[in-house]
Amino acid sequence: MNILGLKMGVCAAALLLAAPGMAPAAGKPAAGRPWMNAKLSPDARADLVLAKLSLDEQIALLHGSMPMFMGGKKPAGVQISAGYFPGVPELNIPDLTESDASLGVANAGRKDDDATPLPSGLALAATWDPKTAFASGAMIGKEARQKGFNTLLAGGVNLLRDPRNGRNFEYLGEDPLLAGTLAGHTIKGVQSNHIVSTVKHFALNDQETGRMVLDGQIDEAAFRESDLLAFEIAIETGHPGSVMCAYNRVGGTYACENPFLLTDVLRKDWHYPGWVMSDWGAVHGVAAAKAGLDQESGQQLDKQVFFDAPLKAAVASGEVSKTRIHEMAHRYLRSLFAAGVVDHPVTAGGLDTAADALVAGRAEEQAIVLLKNDANLLPLMKTARKIAVIGGHADVGVISGGGSSQVIPTGSASFPKPKGAPQWGGGQIYTPGAPLKAIAARAPGAQVSFNDGADPAAAAALAEASDVVVVFATQWSTEGMDIAMKLDGDQDRLIAAVTAANPKTVVVLETAGPVTMPWRDKAGAILEAWFPGARGADAIGKVLFGEVDPQGRLPVSFPASEAQLARPVLPGSDQNIVETLTPSASKPFDVKYTEGSDVGYRGYAKSGDKPLYPFGYGLSYTVFRYSGLKVTGGKTLTARFTVTNVSNVAGTDTPQVYLTAGPKRTQQRLIGWSKLALKPGEARVVTVTAPARMLANWDSAGHGWKVDGGSYKLAVGPDAATAALKGSATVVAAKLKP
């Protein structure tokens, strides 16, 4: 069994023994503990604590365990979760209790444990709504406290450069402004509960195949304008207490021992004050401490616990200075003070997943994207008498993604994983809430029949005998391996058979991300529901029956085929790797990101190729018109225009503003958007101002952002490929600090 398998196998056994409970709380403030004065700055408070700690005590803060590997050394009450670092109770420094949290408080295979799964990260990105991001973060942060965790390993913001990346469902799409903004608001939501959130995985962890060894190569300016920009915006917006560095190499050096990433960019340019924690099994030596890594996580997964005895030896030999150790511990402690972890110790209890599921359901309602709707097949008429529901385990629940982020709420069902998939958890987990039930509840007079889709001929026969068909199709994905850009198994054949039998077929996709749709022309309507999360089935029901206007917009281009990708053959795929946590599992290889910052829609704008569906795309049950564009320039660009709902139903639109060319460079870029609900016939003026940095190019020689003076062109439209309105204005030259 590989170590990943071991990780999960041991976990399952340990779970049976784990006492549900809370982390030990910090002691009460008392006289003689000046760091408990909340009026002092987090930095001052951290230094006051550090003055009480010996070098060894400081180093003890800098490495921590996966509780499942602690055996008899696991203190009573410490939960099986991602990470545990003992605190200093006599100084009020609590234990650090970490849970994974890309999509909820992950429960590491615990079927005895409840938690609320959010819809996937891509679903959240499809809402284009910072308020929903905040609410989602706030909900999982609250659950973290209620479950005794004070740190969430949330905030995944790696850019979607390849639809086959197995972790895309944890991330927020292909655009740095959209992804960074939503990640930042999620982090803010998490930390509004006085706990720490990370942002991860820093940086260029953009595929799972070979993630422990691959070397991501990209030109610096392109890097600053794409993947790094997403992190920069997320950090500025959300102020995460910690940054998690990635497994892979960047420019020849492992991300967790990469001075360019951890010191030059993060500290010198961005002035990031918090601590950098490693990914689990991503530390390769004490060189990491010199490069800017502050804390070794999941220490049992590294070849040695480098930040214990080897770090002490490095201090003794003068290789690492005492000042650097002080700095590492300082950054850790100052974040604990800044987030409120010390002043508001977590107390477990009060979990209310029924209420929390409403937050997840509301997010999914906003995330579902209507891709096609011939002859207004949707919304479904309540008058349809015979409805066929086919496939996708729609009689059981909705699919979810696997790996460390997996949330398994009470009542989940599990189906076998594809052969060769990593040993995370126990199969493909289906979140409770059956779409079949959600549909039947909304069509009380109808005969609603289910066919599991295993036999396309039987499914087609049912389709033919029905007034309308809703076929559910899935694409499972998990951390640790990449996927094909298609529906799993034989579902394309199933849909082809069903749509041939009855053109009044609605295809509901529950996919990790973009898939090809060879049956697209035959389908009457197509909805992208992503991984829907808790109450996701209900959200699908609401959209199908028009209780909610479909208002999701694609946060990623849907390519027409893999031939359109920047790398049609996935690097490393020839090695047939299922990624484990052991660096030796695969041979090192390079991933050359030659598309630079022309990720997704920017690449299509340049090449003129047509994707299947463009970035930003999504239909509504209503029709919106854009008019009266006025663009003003100056230090940046401001677009004012009118959006009118010209139909007779209420709806929600997300008009987008794209830069299409600057004075010296032609590159399409999303520079802003608005989201607004309009009543029938209502018109509203929308103002979108671009952050000046979105107009700038990275100037490597001048080491900063440079806005060229001159004329800038922009387009306003419903997606990246449709310029409904065009305008231009003059912007003055400027240099912006990195």
Instruction: State the nearest-atom distance from the C-beta of 84 to ligand BGC, in Å.
Output: 12
Instruction: Indicate if 598 belongs to the active site.
Output: no
Q: CA-to-CA distance for 106 and 404, rounded, in angstroms? A: 7
Catalytic residue among 95, 279, 549, 653: 279
On the question of a cis peptide bond just before residue 246, with omega within 30 degrees of 0, the verdict is no
Site string for ligand BGC, 69-88 (x = CB under 6 A): -------------x------
**Pair 734, 695: CB distance under 8 Å:** no
144-183: contacts with ligand BGC (CB under 6 A): 153
The closest of 303, 306, 304 to 293, measured between CA atoms, is: 306
DSSP-based three-state secondary structure for 199: strand
Q: Smallest gap, in angstroms, from Cβ of residue 82 to ligand BGC?
A: 4
Cβ partners under 8 Å of residue 500, min gap 6: 460, 522
3-state secondary structure of 692: helix
C-beta of residue 428 within 8 angstroms of C-beta of residue 512: no
- Bridge partners of 369? 528
128 is a site residue for ligand BGC (CB under 6 A): no
Q: Does 280 bind ligand BGC (CB under 6 A)?
A: yes
Question: Can you say how many angstroms the Cα of residue 504 is from the centroid of all Cα atoms in its chain?
Answer: 34
Of residues 177 through 206, those in contact with ligand BGC by CB under 6 A are 200-201
Q: Is 595 in the site for ligand BGC (CB under 6 A)?
A: no
Which of residues 153 and 470 has its CB atom nearest to ligand BGC in the complex?
153
Shortest distance (Å) from residue 315 CB to ligand BGC: 27
Nearest residue (CB) to ligand BGC, 121 versus 603: 121
Q: Per rule CB under 6 A, is residue 678 in the interface with ligand BGC? A: no
Is residue 342 a contact partner of residue 94, using CB atoms and an 8 Å limit? Answer: yes
**Nearer Cβ to ligand BGC, position 170 or 595?**
170
Q: Give the one residue of 64, 80, 100, 315 binding ligand BGC; rule: CB under 6 A.
A: 100
Nearer to ligand BGC, 282 or 443 (CB): 282
Strand order in the sheet with 468-474: 369-373, 525-528, 505-510, 468-474, 386-390, 447-451
Beta bridge partners of 100: 153
User: Does position 279 bind ligand BGC by CB under 6 A?
Assistant: yes
Is 339 or 544 the residue whose CB approaches ligand BGC more closely? 339
Q: How far is the CB of 407 from ligand BGC (least distance, A)?
A: 13
Dist. CA 665–CA 142, nearest whole Å: 45
Instruction: State the binding string over 226-265 for ligand BGC (x if CB under 6 A, else -).
Output: ----------------------------------------
Q: Residues near 595 by Cβ (< 8 Å), separated by ≥ 6? A: 161, 566, 603
Judged by CB, which is closer to ligand BGC: 82, or 311?
82
- Are 721 and 601 in contact, with CB atoms under 8 Å apart? yes
**Distance of alpha carbon 134 from alpha carbon 121, whole angstroms:** 13
Give the containing element (helix H, strand E) for 494.
helix 491-501
> Considering the complex, what minimum distance in angstroms separates the CB of residue 571 from ligand BGC?
19
195/188 Cα distance (integer angstroms): 10
Give whichever of 151 and 516 is closer to ligand BGC, judged by the CB atom.
151
308 CA to centre of own chain? 32
Closest contact distance (angstroms) between CB of 205 and ligand BGC is: 8
Binding mask 383-422 for ligand BGC (x = CB under 6 A): ---------------------x------------------
Residues that bind ligand BGC (CB under 6 A): 82, 100, 153, 200-201, 279-280, 404
- Residues with catalytic roles: 279
